[in-house]
Amino acid sequence: MPPKRKPSQKSETNKQKRHKDELTVLSLEDVTSLGEQIRDASKFNNFITLLSLLQRIPSTFMEKEVTDTEKMGRHILLTLFERFEALFKEGMMVGSKKHNEKQRLVVNWLADKYKAFKSTILKMLSTDLSNETSLQLDSMEVFLNLIKLESQTLEKQFPKKTYQLFLEAILHSNIGKVLPDGSSNNFIVMDFADTFKHHWDLQFYFFDNLNEVLCSWKDDLSEKELQRIFANFVTIIRNGLQFHSEDLENENTLVVKDILPSTIYKHNKFKSHFQKCVLSLLSYPLSSSQYKLILSILHKRIIPYMSQPQSLMDFLTDAYNLQDDLIIPILSLNSLYELMKSYNLEYPDFYSKLYSLLRPELFYTRYRSRFFRLCDLFLSSTHLSANLVASFIKKLARLSLTSSASGVVIIIPFIYNLLKRHPTCMIMLHNTDDNAQVGDPFDNLETNPLNTQAIKSSLWELETLMRHYHPNIATLAKIFGEPFRKPNYNMEDFLDWSYQSLLETEKSRRYKSQAALEFETFDGVLSEKDKEGNYLLQGWNL
């Protein structure tokens, strides 16, 4: 036999054109008629026609008017859903021992068409159609209704496999892009996140289904794909979980509660699945922005839901030890503090690392306020060494010489509170030792705060702040020249200051009386002329 010829590119083009023409010729009434005819078993072949039309919607989306394509696609989608829903209720989608061989063939054939229907919807959810379309949101809603439908008729339990296919599709979805903050602007993912946070069964089986899948993806997918999966994943969970210590049985669920097993209400089981998913996700090659995103939500959105938060110790200590990017260690402080406070994490070099974060660029980061809130908390213990506290005080005083005005506004009350809390450091302000060295013994380059010799130094930097160019700072710094009778400052009043707020304060300041000005008026800059009519500079004798 002669070999078969491959179809030419021209024939393929003609085929695509014929498919587009078919979509154009069919009207909404024709689609409705095809769906109505499926009520008759002899017209089950109409499933093939409708599925074929639905499968062509994505490829023709950009070829026709969007509104027409959306309207047609939505009508086909809902028509197929209604027909399958009716067949489920009639028992035509579930095999039975009472069925003869012909009936089993029909059930198997319908099952194949139902599987093709779900696959088409999943492809719709994961395909970027270049334009945001409500058709894809409708597809997501239909698929969630299919999950609800299967739970009531097909399996009499939560359909984990169907839900897993759905999760894999939206996590793999390349719609939208990864934002600069590391999350995703995928509108399907964001819409699902709104549904997800209100249904406990979706949350429980979300982590139950993805336990093994996330691990397998790490070996099979590229770095870019893994970062997109991470962005979609975090976008779903970052608004929090519907997880409470009591009355978990009363939370909303997507499917009927009667068919759900009691195991989904066991906290330990949920925490175990959640922890496995998170640890798998943190092993991905994340971008710098995604690193910062996960660290910013770790202490509130992840640690409380883990069965053993201590398993994050290596991840957090590695993040805290990073010196190239100042923001990452700052963001890891919240979670490290949570582990030390609640889970007895021991970190011997914690204060040395904290001291190393005191750099000039600290006062120009957006997380400056977060750092000083935590630093104030870490240095609040009266059991800390005087040498340690003195090093922090001296380092901050030294940084105030080159810091922005908004940074100095934070440093002054911060140092004042430390001196009030640790009176042994007051010697840095009132050193009465006649044999004190001339010069500053403080070693600014020493990385160990216990060896900087700061306690033997003085806070001469505060004297310079009393002559600061900004009057508010100069007035604030004069507190160090007065007796320490003022109670501790509330740091929240100073953490959010900026150049803009400082300028606004000056603009809105009210003076008790107008300043008196005395000046002599002139007709012009060059008011006098010589004999030849040339202007002379005022005050100059030429």
Mean pLDDT along residues 459-468 = 90
Residues 422 and 290 in one domain: no
- Cα angle at 148 between 35 and 88, to 5 degrees? 40
**One domain for residues 179 and 298:** yes
Query: Who's near 482: CB < 8 A, 6+ residues apart?
Result: none
Whether residues 174 and 288 share a domain: the answer is: yes
- 310 & 434 share domain: no
Strand, coil or helix: 178: strand
pLDDT at 535: 60
Let me know whether 144 and 165 are in one domain.
no
Mean model confidence pLDDT for the chain: 83
Tell me, what amino acid is at 191?
D
Does residue 394 sit in helix, strand or coil?
helix
Each residue of 262-305: pLDDT tens digit?
A: 888 888 899 999 999 999 999 999 888 998 999 999 988 899 89
Q: Could you tell me if residue 439 is left (phi over 0), alpha (psi between -120 and 50 degrees) or otherwise beta?
A: left
Q: Which structural domain range is residue 88 located in?
A: 26-154
pLDDT grade, residue 12 (50/70/90)?
Answer: very low
Contact (Cβ atoms closer than 8 angstroms) between residue 396 and residue 415: yes
- Do 304 and 180 belong to one domain? yes
Specify whether 291 is located in the same domain as 254: yes
Mark whether 144 and 256 lie in a shared domain: no
533 in a domain, yes or no? no
30, part of any domain: yes
Using the 3D structure, point to which of 297, 315, 348 is the last residue of a domain. 348
pLDDT surpasses 50 at 48: yes
- Residue appearing with tokens 């911060």: 414
| Rounded Cα gap, residues 316 and 103, in angstroms | 60
* Range name among 8-22, 355-369, 435-449, 462-476 with the lowest pLDDT average: 8-22
In a domain, 3, yes or no: no
Q: Which two tokens stand for residue 217?
A: 């993806």
Confidence (pLDDT) at 154: 74
Q: Are residues 171 and 303 in the same domain?
A: yes
Measured distance CA(152)–CA(484) in Å, rounded: 72
Q: Choose between 419 and 33: higher pLDDT.
A: 419
pLDDT tens, position by position, 381-426: 888 999 999 999 999 999 999 998 889 999 999 999 999 999 999 9
Query: Which of 90, 125, 154 is the last residue before a domain boundary?
Result: 154
Mean per-residue pLDDT, 17-31: 62
For the chain, the domain total comes to 3
d(CA 220, CA 12): 33
Residue 317 lies inside a defined structural domain of this protein? yes
- Cα 204 to Cα 31, 69, 243, 250, 386: the distances in Å are 38, 36, 10, 14, 50
Lowest-confidence segment of 214-223, 413-422, 507-516 by average pLDDT: 507-516
Residue 319 lies in a domain: yes
Q: Give the end of a domain, one of 284, 317, 348.
A: 348
145 and 173 fall within a common domain: no
What are the tens digits of pLDDT across the range 72-115?
A: 888 899 999 999 998 888 888 876 667 678 878 888 898 999 99
Asked, for residue 114, whether it belongs to a domain, the answer is yes
| 368-378 and 405-421 helices, crossing angle to 10° | 10
Q: How far is CA 493 from CA 27, 311, 400, in A?
A: 66, 37, 18
pLDDT digit string (tens) for 127-174?
887 666 788 999 999 999 999 999 988 768 899 999 999 999 999 998
244 within some domain: yes
Distance, in Å, from the CA atom of 542 to the CA atom of 530, rounded to the nearest integer, reads 9
Least confident piece of the model among 431-445, 464-478, 514-528? 514-528
Residue 517 banded pLDDT, cuts 50, 70, 90: low
Looking at the structure, tell me whether residues 488 and 428 fall in a common domain.
Answer: yes
Position 311 in a domain: yes
**H or E segment to which residue 89 belongs:** helix 66-90
Q: Could you give the percent of the chain with pLDDT greater than 90?
A: 39
pLDDT of residue 396: 95
Give the SS3 label for residue 273.
Answer: helix
pTM, two decimals, is 0.79
Same domain, 50 and 117: yes
Pairwise pLDDT comparison (479 vs 17), residue with the higher score: 479
Give me the mean pLDDT over the 191-215 stretch.
91
